[in-house]
Amino acid sequence: MDKLISGLAKFQSSPYEDRKELFAELANGQSPEVLFITCADSRIDPNLVTQTEPGDLFVIRNAGNIVPPHTKIAGGVTASIEFAVAALGVKHIVVCGHTDCGAMKGALNTAALSDLPHVQQWLDNSRAAVEVVKARHGQATSAELGSVTEQNVLLQLQHLRTHPAVASKLSSGDVDLHGWVYDIEHGTVSAYDDKQDKFVTVEERYASLVAASEALKEVKSA
């Protein structure tokens, strides 16, 4: 707690003062463009990784960056998705997994989670990802953890499509889905390319956006 308390003091004296106008604006509402769904792992910091400011991301975090399929039973993840998409009008939804994910290790061996029944049940939402890896590799062990992590991201994107608010916006072209995996050690992100049906570098996946951004910079500097 000492670290948190001292951090609060530092925040109020420097970062807050540097962004005082931004916080004054955010005090009256929010309009994020991105819903960012990622793991609750303490090593993941969405704003740090993406270098975004407060107000840029609407973040949902849980063990395994999981999106349960839509049901009539209300849940925190479901309600947050509905609010972000239908009320805030986000334009993009990112599901971001990461390397060395404890939740995915658990999904590979749920029988070992008997002392954590709620975690065990929660990871049922990743079971299909494990089964896909088993079918493709003949096994699903710690050696296939990277593949399970990627397949889990794709599975949660499928689950997202079952949510009415998301399905509606997808049909009208008002929202785009993105699957990412963050490499903790190297600080890099790979992104799913549906045309190639594989995860590639962010630079390759968003080459057209990068090119457009660079062209805009050149126009502004001319």
Q: What does the pLDDT read at residue 222?
A: 57
Residues 24 and 35 in one domain: no
Residues 104 and 10 in one domain: no
For the chain, what is the domain count? 2
Q: What angle do CA 56, 61, 67 make, to 5 degrees?
A: 105
Residues 23 and 74 in one domain: no
Residues 6 and 68 in one domain: no
Residues 105 and 184 in one domain: yes
pLDDT in tens, 80-102: 999 999 999 999 999 999 999 99
Q: What does the pLDDT read at residue 66?
A: 98
Structural domain containing residue 22 = 1-29
- Distance between start and end Cα atoms, the chain: 51
Average pLDDT, the chain: 93
Q: What is the bridge-based pairing of β-strands 57-62 and 92-98?
A: unpaired
Residues 127 and 164 in one domain: yes
Residues 13 and 99 in one domain: no
Whether 131 contacts 155, CB under 8 Å? no
Residues 108 and 210 in one domain: yes
pLDDT band for position 216 (50/70/90)?
A: very low
Higher per-residue confidence, 220 vs 25: 25
Residues 72 and 160 in one domain: yes
Residues 176 and 157 in one domain: yes
Q: What is the bridge-based pairing of β-strands 198-201 and 188-193?
A: antiparallel
The C-alpha R_g of the chain, in whole angstroms, comes to 19
Domain harbouring 131, CATH code: 3.40.1050.10
pLDDT band for position 209 (50/70/90)?
A: confident
Q: What does the pLDDT read at residue 208?
A: 78
105-113: average pLDDT:
95
Q: What does the pLDDT read at residue 219?
A: 54
Whole-structure pTM value: 0.92
pLDDT in tens, 175-206: 999 999 999 999 999 999 999 999 999 999 99
Give the rounded percent of residues in the chain with a pLDDT score beyond 70: 94
What SS3 state is found at 45? coil
pLDDT in tens, 38-67: 999 999 999 999 999 999 999 999 999 999
pLDDT band for position 72 (50/70/90)?
A: confident
pLDDT tops 90 at residue 221: no
Residues 15 and 125 in one domain: no
Residues 8 and 70 in one domain: no
pLDDT tops 80 at residue 168: yes
113-131: average pLDDT:
97
